[in-house]
Amino acid sequence: MANNQLSLPKGKWLLVNCGKFPSAKNCQLVLMAPESHREDLLDAVVSHAVKFHGHKDDQELRQNLNKSLEKVDL
């Protein structure tokens, strides 16, 4: 699906693709947000990792997930 079909504003975005991480659940969730909403995206990603993958919400998890955010230009 092209970004124009999603009606996303042009600009710098961050995304994380759960499918890139090893998982017994074979999760394929993709989360993204404008770069200016990095902390909101990180909170959502951490929440997903804790609730669905059983990770502990700690500083190490947040740092690792923060590093895994990919930058994309739309």
pLDDT of amino acid 1:
46
pLDDT of amino acid 43:
98
DSSP string, the chain: --HHHHTPPSSEEEEEEGGGS--TT----EEEEEGGGHHHHHHHHHHHHHHHH----SHHHHHHHHHHPEEEE-
Beta-carbon contacts of 53 under 8 Å, excluding residues fewer than 6 positions away, are 23, 25, 27
Residue ranges per domain, the chain?
A: 3-73
Backbone angles phi, psi at 2, to 5 degrees: -75, 150
Joined tokens for residue 8: 């996303």
Give average pLDDT by consecutive 10-residue segment, the chain, 74 residues.
71 94 88 97 97 95 96 93
